[in-house]
Amino acid sequence: MTDNMNFTPDPPVRTNSVRIGAIGAGMIMAECHLAAYKEAGFPVVAIASRTKSRAEGVAGRWGIPKVHDTPEALIADPQVEILDIAYPPDLQPALIRTALRQPHIKGILAQKPLALSLDEAIALRDEAAAAGKILSVNQNMRYDQSMRVLKEIIDRGDLGEIVFAQIDMHAIPHWQDFLKSYDRLTLSNMSVHHLDVLRHLFGDPDEITTLSRKDPRTTFEHTDGITVSTLRFPSGLMAVSLEDVWSGPREEGYQDDQHITFRVDGTKGVAKGTIGWPKGAASTLTYASTTATGGKWVTPVWETMWFPHAFVGVMEQLQHAVATGAAPALTVADNVRTVALIEAGYRSMTERRTVKLSEISTN
């Protein structure tokens, strides 16, 4: 970091002793979760996936001592204290419910989206509370280093009252095969990062207006390809989340300019930067404040990246909650409110109108 900024782009590891069982052996588990856990010293004691041979390969790579035949067998393993799920969202709720019945499992880290419908997400929230288990959802963009520093800058008032914010994405996601059978695409599986982090930074919005069109590159049937959402917050703040999953042609000789940028304007300053995905680089942030920097632009720096290092913080907050009884930073109740925002966005697209969040019940 540059001197005298006192930012914490990566949270400290306070607890790393609670035993983890990993379900899933795809890219996000193999390249992000397990890489981060190895770095932080989190003990992964078992793994399972839909294909045992693939789980065996990942176990060998990361030194995981036990490979179970099925996810259900892993959940029944009394050595597992935290269940870490990286599985298709239509299959995830059944695994969560199985885990809630196991006395040895103390915490569950689920993937986003938590479920394919708001009603299912609410039910899982309530069932976890009734079972006395900690259910946390992997909203990992909150742990991107630029977003953590941006949150600190906003919270200490360096930008004053926030007037306008924007996340501007022009990048091509890898749509997993299981998404082809769903009726929801970009808003539920990509915008969820941006809408959640806007909630994290600024609180709950009053209303959302979402427009969408099909993406010419995505060959399977879908409605929400390119999406644009405008949020209005109680303070008057407006925020825009744009997901351009087309991002131009990809032909030989065409120069790729995929990128994600963000900007936050306040009465006392501006912060702006880039998200390192999909370039495989560290995210960046620069800001100027009339009170904190004398109006000059300054740039905090860090060595870590969203993928994989943000996943240290995601698991650490659950490790610490399980070990100490403290509330997790990523609660399922808070995630349900992100799911409600997505639900409101889909209603806005379908009904071609602004939707107030008060219309969407989370009770």
CA dist 209 → 109, 167, 216, 326, 360 (Å) = 30, 15, 23, 36, 14
pLDDT at position 290 is: 98
53 contacts 43 by C-beta, under 8 angstroms: no
| Cα–Cα distance list, 332 to 73, 151, 257, 303 (Å) | 25, 21, 36, 30
Alpha carbon separation from 121 to 22, 340, 347 (Å, rounded): 21, 9, 17
> 141-306+339-356 in CATH: which number?
3.30.360.10
The amino acid occupying position 356 is K
SS3 295: coil
- pLDDT of the residue at 36: 98
Return the structure tokens found at 229.
Answer: 């959402």
| pLDDT at site 3 | 41
Encode the chain (363 residues) as per-residue pLDDT tens digits. 334 479 999 999 999 999 999 999 999 999 999 999 999 999 999 999 999 999 999 999 999 999 999 999 999 999 999 999 999 999 999 999 999 999 999 999 999 999 999 999 999 999 999 999 999 999 999 999 999 999 999 999 999 999 999 999 999 999 999 999 999 999 999 999 999 999 999 999 999 999 999 999 999 999 999 999 999 999 999 999 999 999 999 899 999 899 999 999 999 999 999 999 988 899 999 999 999 999 999 999 999 999 999 999 999 999 999 999 999 999 999 999 999 999 999 999 999 999 999 999 999
Cα 259 from Cα 40, distance rounded (Å): 29
Burial of 261 (0-12, 13-18, 19+ CB in 10 A): middle
Residues 262 and 193: their CA atoms lie apart, in Å, by 13
The CATH number assigned to the domain with range 20-140+312-327 reads 3.40.50.720
Torsion of CA 323, 324, 328, 333, to 10 degrees: 100
* Residue 50 burial by Cβ neighbours in a 10 Å radius (0-12, 13-18, 19+): middle
Domain edges within the chain: 20-140+312-327, 141-306+339-356
Give the contacts of 327 (CB within 8 A, at least 6 positions apart): 321
The answer to whether the beta carbons of residues 285 and 201 sit under 8 Å apart is no
- Segment holding 337, helix H or strand E: helix 332-351
